[in-house]
Structure 1
């Protein structure tokens, strides 16, 4: 008996991950959500699994379980955390944490999903990177691992394209998630400065990012791979390479 096809979105309980999951659910896909905290009332069609993805064994265990029960043909490595710090204040513990969560867990899920993708001759992998990959003060370990996700995606795109598998990155700028707004009150001068730094003069929404991820996840978009889409309100203009 063949396994049911599914799209896996890590960290889909809220914020950007929840918006991506909602888009996929609206298209009729089964969505698997792996997160540290699960939603109290998940939407119909979402199947939730609890795990701390900064823990290698937990990540391996849940990835193996999902791959044994579902044919994962779409994967969004979205789960993440910031861990602010400068050259003087960043700690090796913070570096280990974000490396485990952003890079190690991503590779674990990719390797778990690849057999089903190769068998289907189709796969879509999206890495949720960040505009911070281009450099951002007080984000030394975060920006390093987000840049690493982009590098991983570009290499995997070269390796997997012949199997009908695309690998792309979405790199958000300032997005009005609950986490962002909790540390950036709307009326705070620093928040207004962030808004003014965008060409669009507003914060992005999780749905803005979801639509970008949706483009890369679309089955019809099989000739775009190894690319980075910045969803940043124009904050990368003059910074990102052509």
Structure 2
């Protein structure tokens, strides 16, 4: 069995003396794992960095066998890894993808969204240019895995007027009038998630508070400790960059 696909590198785990198992997200096959010979060698290490776009030739004798992959670099994001904030964003989004998604199920919208987010980081390393896209990617991942939030109408009145908060229990939006008695217990809902467009540093931080709460509660659970550390580094650097720390 042979196939060829474009892919984004999400994770790498050493296997044997020189090889590694690489986890890739692809447009049509979703998340896949494959063995790469020489992955830890000097030539392949820069190719298999998280966030890189690659072309993968996959081969296996049976459907149940771990495929072997021959990987060629298409686009490197290595230069971004020397910048603390873009590096933290790439680390988080790729490890989140590799951890949360089941293997072998296609998620074309997630692939496109991750590709767009990484392209945005490439184009404008400042988080003011891609922070909103990061929040939207996390919201999309929650939705694709069955934990979508309802930010379109008030959980109490059913209307879409003056939505200002999100219930941390139900994941539904709440209007200003209904939110007032629960001040301090609800998550602020930033305007860009209601109306689109760019986001301020404060709004990006608010959006990440929302998605972080539901990611840790509903998706990552037992795996939250190591994954949470990557996210905590990113959020801390975002707050510092925006003068919010």
Q: Identify the TM-score tier after normalising by the shorter chain.
A: under 0.3
Q: TM-score, normalised by structure 1?
A: 0.27
Q: TM-score, normalised by structure 2?
A: 0.27
- The structure showing larger relative contact order (alpha-carbon pairs under 8 Å, at least 6 residues apart) is 1
The structure with the larger Rg is 2
Identify the structure with the greater strand proportion: 2
